[in-house]
Structure 1
Amino acid sequence: MGFCGNGISSMGSEEELKVLMDQRKRKRMISNRESARRSRMKKVKHFHDLSAKMAHLTNQNQQLLTTLNHTTQRYCILEAQNSVLRAQLGELNHRLHSLNHIIDFFNASNGVFEAMDFASRSFIDPAFDNFFNSFNVSYMNQPIMASAEAMLQY
């Protein structure tokens, strides 16, 4: 009879062991599901963070492109203006060089033109006479012909 009692108690402990194993298995499954859910939530949050960062960087990139285009346009305009100014500088340097030659010619004449009576001379063309009159500066008021469009090729 002792053997039968032992068999029943061992059967009871086997059932208890099986119930205990099933409980542990369920706990593990629940824990794994919860862990998988947290992992999915973490991935979703990471995805949203990356999407927001991408939108911000795309916006920033667009602003930089707009600024770059504006700066490039301003550079081209300034480069054209600079070319015009260089052309004007060249023309003014040429004019200055010519005027310095005329001054050197007058200085080298040792007063020959000063001794002449400018009112009575008839050998100088009246249109050319304005050139020798220091109070008539109309020859200096000639426009310098250089446009930005013509200078873009430089």
Structure 2
Amino acid sequence: MLPLVIQAPVDVGFRPSWSGPTEPEQDLSAVSPEQRRRLRRMISNRESARRSRARKQRHLEELRGQAGRLRSQNQELADRLGGLARRCLRLRQDNDRLLAEASALCRRLADLRREVALRQFHRLAAPPPLGAHYELGWASLMV
């Protein structure tokens, strides 16, 4: 406990906390031990309340700082999410375009294969050419 250091006379009589200062009624030397304990306790309580208010103020400032940092971090994450969503949309559009292109190319390849097979079938079904052209006809089928 802190030592009691009072240089001026102190009013130790009952006074509600809402009342203003009053004239000192007694000298400190005339204060009973019970009143001294009550006075020390009152001073100690006031100091404790002051420290508590200071702690509460520091805590409140820390919370305000943390809230500001979290708001900033939330905004950064929202911006990143927006950018990623736009990129994802572009990639999906590219993917859809490429799938459509691949499908069209597969259809075209299937059409070309059918045409080549049909041409080969017609060559095989046609009467064989005469002479040197006969060998060229068979050579073209091998290609």
Give the structure-2-normalised TM-score: 0.65
In 1, Cα distance between equivalents of 2:31 and 2:103 = 105
Moved more, 37-46 or 11-20: 11-20
Give the alignment partner of residue 53 of structure 1, picking from 60, 70, 73.
Answer: 73
Match for residue 147 of structure 1? none
- Residues 1:69 and 2:89 are matched in the alignment: yes
Give the alignment partner of residue 96 of structure 1, picking from 112, 116, 121.
Answer: 116
RMSD: 2.4
In 2, Cα distance between equivalents of 1:44 and 1:63 = 29
Q: Which amino acid aligns with 1:15?
A: Q
Give the alignment partner of residue 79 of structure 1, picking from 85, 99, 108.
Answer: 99
- Residues 1:114 and 2:139 are matched in the alignment: no
In 1, Cα distance between equivalents of 2:31 and 2:96 = 95
Q: Unpaired runs of 5+ in structure 1?
A: 1-8, 118-133, 135-154
In 1, Cα distance between equivalents of 2:63 and 2:130 = 99
Measure how far apart 1:57 and its partner are.
Answer: 1.1
Q: Which amino acid aligns with 1:75?
A: N
Give the alignment partner of residue 36 of structure 2, picking from 2, 11, 16.
Answer: 16
Moved more, 12-21 or 89-98: 12-21
Measure how far apart 1:64 and its partner are.
Answer: 0.8
Q: Deviations over 1:32-78 (max 9, x none)?
A: 10111122112112211211121011011101111011001101211
Give the structure-1-normalised TM-score: 0.60
Q: Deviations over 1:54-111 (max 9, x none)?
A: 10110111011110110011012111211220121011111111122123225xx4x4
Identity %: 14
Match for residue 25 of structure 2? none
Q: Which amino acid aligns with 1:91?
A: D
Match for residue 35 of structure 1? 55
In 2, Cα distance between equivalents of 1:34 and 1:88 = 80
